[in-house]
Amino acid sequence: MTKIPPGFSFEATEQGFVLRNKNADGNVTEFVIPLGQIAGLRTEIDLWMDRSWSVLQTTEGAQTPVHALWMEQGGVWKDTLGEHVILIATGRSGGQIALQFPLAAADQLAADLAELVSKVKAENPTKQ
């Protein structure tokens, strides 16, 4: 094993990745992250950062930073247990992001999305 400095270290292995944290006392906590789950970890970190930024809003009505990705295509599927809906969006470069929603959240998202799309279309009618 590599010498671990205080703080976090991240190491690629054949099985995936190992995230380690060494505290001031020298104790090391280790998390093994399978290769197939690293994208999910990154998504969780990005979402956490977005939520953290929104808490820092200093004045009422101030703009909240939002990290948005331009997507060319999207699709939805149910998970293998049928308890969640998976939204997969594909960007211009072919990269994908997948978000998993419980059914109640997916139902609300579908209703909100349909309402917003109708509103945007009404405000910006297609020129013939």
User: Do 24 and 49 fall into the same domain?
Assistant: yes
Percentages (nearest 5) of helix, strand, coil residues in the chain: 35, 35, 35
User: Do 73 and 124 fall into the same domain?
Assistant: yes
User: Do 82 and 127 fall into the same domain?
Assistant: yes
Report the domain count for the chain: 2
pTM of the model: 0.46
Partners of 32 in beta bridges: 18
Dist CA 94 CA 16 (whole Å): 23
The range of the structural domain enclosing residue 15 comes to 1-55
Instruction: Give the three-class secondary structure for 39.
Output: helix
User: Do 72 and 51 fall into the same domain?
Assistant: no
pLDDT tens string 96-115: 888 899 999 999 999 999 99
pLDDT tens string 52-68: 666 655 556 666 666 66
Domain assignment present for 115: yes
Domain assignment present for 62: no
Domain assignment present for 94: yes
User: Do 25 and 79 fall into the same domain?
Assistant: no
Dist CA 68 CA 50 (whole Å): 10
DSSP category for residue 65: P
